[in-house]
A and B are shown apart, each in its own frame.
Chain A
Amino acid sequence: MSETVIDVRGLTKSFGGRKVVDAFDLKVPRGAIYGFLGPNGSGKTTTIRMVCGLLKPESGEGEVLGFNVLSESLKIKERVGYMTQKFSLYEDLSIRENLEFIARLYGLDRRNERVDQALEDLGLAERQAQLAGKLSGGWKQRLALAACMIHEPELLLLDEPTAGVDPKARRDFWDAIRRYSAQGVTTLVSTHYMDEAVQCDSIAYIAYGKKLLDAPTAAIPQQIGLYGWRIAGRPLLESQQMLEASDGVDLVARFGAEIHACGKDATALERAVRAVKQAQPHVEIAPIEAGFEEIFIYLMSGALDNFQ
Chain B
Amino acid sequence: MKAPTLPNLLDLSWARVFAVFLKELVQMRRDRPTFAIMIMMPIMQLVLFGFAINTDPRHLPAVVEMREDGPMTRAFLASLSASTFVDIVAIARTSEEGEAMLRSGEANFLISIPEGFERRLVRGERPQILIAADASDPVAAGGALSAIERVAQQAFAPEFEGSLSYLAQGQPPYEIVVHRRYNPAGVTAFNIVPALLGVILTMTMVMITSIALTRETERGTMENLLATPVRPLEVMIGKTTPYVGVGAIQVAIVLIVATLLFKIPFTGSFLAFLIAVTLFILANLMLGYLISTVARTQMQAMQMTFFIFLPSILLSGFMFPFAAMPVWARAIGEALPITHFLRIVREVVLKEAGLADIASDLWPLALILLVLGTLALMRFRRTLD
Contacts and interface: CB of A to CB of B under 8 A. Distances in A.
Interface string A87-109: 11111110001000110111100
B384 A104 contact: no
B227 A71 contact: no
Nearest to A88: B224
B226 to A, nearest CB: 6
B267 to A, nearest CB: 44
Interface in B1-38: 1-2, 13, 15-16, 18-20, 22-23, 26-27, 30-31
A55 interface: yes
A245 interface: no
A16 to B, nearest CB: 12
Contacts of A106: 228-229
Nearest to A49: B384
A92 B22 contact: no
B14 to A, nearest CB: 10
B221 interface: yes
Contacts of A86: 220, 223
Contact of A56 (B1, B18, B31, B229): B1
A54 interface: yes
Contact of B220 (A77, A82, A84): A84
A78 interface: yes
Contacts of B227: 52, 54, 77, 80, 82, 84
B385 interface: yes
A242 interface: no
A248 interface: no
Contacts of B27: 90, 92-93
A89 B224 contact: yes
A70 B2 CA distance: 7
Contacts of B385: 55-56
A106 B13 CA distance: 10
Interface in B153-171: none
A56 B23 contact: no
Nearest to A81: B227
Contacts of A84: 220, 223-224, 227
Nearest to A107: B15
Nearest to A103: B19
B384 A77 contact: no
B236 to A, nearest CB: 15
A92 B30 contact: yes
B263 interface: no
Given A84-B223, A88-B220, A91-B219, A53 B383 contact: yes
A114 B26 CA distance: 21
Nearest to B27: A92
B22 A101 contact: yes
Contact of A88 (B2, B221, B230): B221
B23 A101 contact: yes
Given A56-B1, A107-B16, A93 B223 contact: no
B383 A101 contact: no
Nearest to B16: A105
A53 B227 CA distance: 8
Among B26, B222, B226: residue with most chain A CB under 10 A: B226
A73 interface: yes
A55 B384 contact: yes
Among B1, B27, B219, B222: residue with most chain A CB under 10 A: B1
Contacts of B30: 92
Contacts of A77: 227-229
A74 interface: yes
A105 B23 CA distance: 11
Nearest to A52: B227
B221 A71 contact: no
Interface string B287-298: 000000000000
Contacts of B18: 104
A55 B1 CA distance: 9
A77 B229 CA distance: 6
Nearest to A84: B223
A20 B226 CA distance: 21
Contact of A105 (B2, B229, B383): B229
B226 A54 contact: yes
A52 B224 CA distance: 11
Contacts of B31: 92
Interface in B215-246: 219-224, 226-231
A49 B227 CA distance: 9
Nearest to A93: B26
A115 to B, nearest CB: 13
Contacts of A70: 1-2
Contacts of B222: 88
Nearest to B231: A74
Contacts of B13: 107
B219 A105 contact: no
Contact of B221 (A49, A82, A90): A90
A93 B26 CA distance: 7
A77 B16 CA distance: 14
Nearest to B31: A92
Contact of A55 (B16, B22, B230, B383): B383
A89 B383 contact: no
Contacts of B224: 82, 84, 88-89, 147
A54 B1 contact: no
A73 B223 contact: no
Interface in A21-70: 49, 52-56, 70
10 contacts: A54-B227, A55-B384, A77-B227, A80-B227, A86-B220, A92-B31, A93-B23, A93-B27, A97-B23, A105-B229
Nearest 6 A/B pairs, CB to CB: A104-B19, A88-B224, A82-B227, A105-B228, A78-B229, A77-B229
Given A55-B384, A90-B221, 5 more contacts: A54-B226, A80-B227, A87-B220, A104-B16, A104-B18
Interface of B: 1-2, 13, 15-16, 18-20, 22-23, 26-27, 30-31, 219-224, 226-231, 382-385
